[in-house]
Structure 1
Amino acid sequence: MKVFSLLAACAVLSAVLAFSDRFTHEKPLFAPDQQFVTEAAEGGMLEVKLGELASQKGVSQEVKTFGKTMVTDHTKVNEELKALAQKKQISVPATLSARKQQKYDSLAAVSGEQFDMLYMNMMIASHEQTIGLFQTESNKGEDPELKKWADSKIPALKHHLEMAKKLFKASPGATRH
């Protein structure tokens, strides 16, 4: 009985040490980069899903076209991010977080001009947030390759933001500033 208890204790101790060793060596090295990859991947997936929705439900042709552009551009970026993350052995989420799914669901529930306005407003907020995320990785990330990749995407994200702002201002019912 004592031998069995001793063996069980050794097995538990080995598992604890292996588990803690994994996190003490890998987690600090990749924690900021892992967070960036997760947030960028979720944001990219949401952009694609919202773009698909806009290309179907949008009222104005400009909104439909913008949605298609988001699908094309963000699908390409998402694939690049997946490949880079895989190379770095960083996991990429396969589905939207509950918070991002809620954003999608709230947009899917509206239609007409209200849809166009809400979609363009979401695109402005989303791209402002994403630019900040990519700038933070570019400036403070740990992995040089991820930093360089994030930096290379900022001009396109800024271009998307400007396009979204112009479309929002042009949409019927938009509050003009």
Structure 2
Amino acid sequence: MLFNKPNQINMKNLQYYLFIAGSCLLTAFTTLDKTAVPFQDEDRTFVKAAAEGGLLEVKLGELAMKNGSSKAVKDYGKMMINDHSKVNKELMSLARKKQMEVPTTLSPEKQQKYDSLAAVKDNTFDMVYMNMMILSHEQTIGIFQNESSAGTDADLKKWAESKVPALKHHLEMAESLFQTANKK
């Protein structure tokens, strides 16, 4: 019996009902947490890093087309503009569906990289640019592989994994062009 006397609650029953109520709330909050946050900080970090990296690749590609001394480096720059512009649009679309914010400008760190390459005006531009492309693509491949294996959002994981082969191809081309530029 819940009440021993009118307006009195049996302590044993009260503890039982409080336990049940607490368990229900805990279950509700746990379920709510899983459904209200479909992606984690790792996914947000990936989107931000991928967007900033893609923006930088496009801007550096534009510099390469303008300041590169060899046709191969200028062509590589054009490829970076085309490929990374396409990937950037895909990422923006995917992030928009996930209601995630995507940076549209370079971070101070990325802007500093751009500025340092923009300052190179002599015949070392090709070598400096290709070295930047090697380092950038090595880092980007790591970021994309990490998302594809450790991300929490299935769509982002699949998308990141699908971009790794092209990024590896960009890296191989950059390494080859760096060797050529370094021989000059």
TM-score range, shorter chain: 0.7 to 0.9
1:100 aligns with 2:93: no
1:80 & 1:28 partners in 2: Cα distance?
Answer: 19
* Residue 184 of structure 2 corresponds to residue 170 of structure 1: no
SS in 1 for 2:123: helix
Q: For each residue in 1:136-175, what CA deviation from the matched residue of structure 2 results, as whole angstroms up to 9, or x when unmatched?
A: 000000000000000000000000000000000011447x
1:68: which partner in 2?
A: 78
Comparing 98-107 and 163-172, the one that deviates more = 163-172
Secondary structure of the structure 1 residue equivalent to 2:114: helix
- In structure 2, C-alpha distance between the alignment counterparts of 1:140 and 1:155, rounded to whole Å: 18
The match for 1:121 is 131
Partner of 1:46: 56
Partner of 2:7: none
Other structure's SS at 1:92 match: coil
The answer (yes or no) to whether the contact 1:58–1:112 under 8 Å persists in 2 is no
- With normalisation by structure 1, the TM-score equals 0.82
Aligned amino acid, residue 96 of structure 2: Q
Matches of 1:76 and 1:28, distance apart in 2: 25
Q: Where do 1:134-145 residues align within 5 Å?
A: 134-145=144-155
Equivalent in the alignment of 1:112 = 122
CA RMSD of aligned residues (A): 1.8
Say whether residues 1:56 and 2:66 are aligned partners: yes
1:132 and 2:142 aligned: yes
Contact 1:113 1:172 in 2 (8 A): no
TM-score, normalization: structure 2? 0.79
| Runs of 4+ off more than 4 Å | 24-28
CA–CA distance in structure 1, aligned partners of residues 39 and 90 of structure 2 = 21
Q: Say which of 88, 101, 105 aligns to 1:78.
A: 88
Q: Determine what percentage of the aligned residue pairs are the same residue.
A: 62
Aligned to 1:18: none
Q: Which has the larger radius of gyration?
A: 2
Q: CA deviation at 1:28?
A: 8.5
Retained in 1: the 8 A contact 2:38–2:153? no
In the alignment, structure 2 segments of 5+ residues that lack a partner are: 1-31
- Cα distance in 2 for residues equivalent to 1:30 and 1:93: 17
1:29/1:142 contact within 8 Å kept:
yes
| Cα distance between partner residues in 1 of 2:182 and 2:161 | 35
